[in-house]
Amino acid sequence: MEHYKIVLPEDLNDYGSLFGGTLLKWVDEIAYIRVSLDFPGRHFVTIGLDSVEFRHRIEKGQILRFVCEKTRVGTTSVTYNVSVYAARYSIEINKVLFESNITFVCVDADGSKQSILGAS
């Protein structure tokens, strides 16, 4: 699944580049949309990202391309790789700016882990 975002002035930190927390929020949202579409009717919560490394400064006006791919399905959890690329000027197009694996766990109405296959 691909998704695009544009970096707006309200997304910037004190140095005029994309605030890291905003990028992490977008990564979490995009991966959550993907897991929700892949497993309709099931409920998931984020349990972690394997790494956080911002590889390049991202400035206002940059269009970011997010690519989210499922990499592992377990009994109660699923992991996606999310890569973020530059899609517009000022940075080499298709350069990886950020990449991480994000894992979600399937939960029931009480928030307890449950099998992905047994979820309703």
Predicted TM-score of the model (pTM): 0.91
Per-chain mean pLDDT for the chain: 93
User: CA 98 to CA 77: how far, in whole Å?
Assistant: 23
pLDDT digits (tens, 9 = 90+) for 97-115: 999 999 999 999 999 999 9
DSSP, collapsed to helix, strand or coil, labels residue 99 as strand
Q: What is the pLDDT of residue 32?
A: 98
Q: How far is CA 38 from CA 44, 85, 86, 87, 102, in A?
A: 11, 23, 26, 26, 15
User: CA 3 to CA 71: how far, in whole Å?
Assistant: 18
pLDDT digits (tens, 9 = 90+) for 39-74: 999 999 999 999 999 999 999 999 999 999 999 999
2-107 CATH pick, 3.40.50.300, 3.10.129.10, 2.60.40.10, 3.30.420.10: 3.10.129.10
Q: How far is CA 99 from the centre of its chain?
A: 9
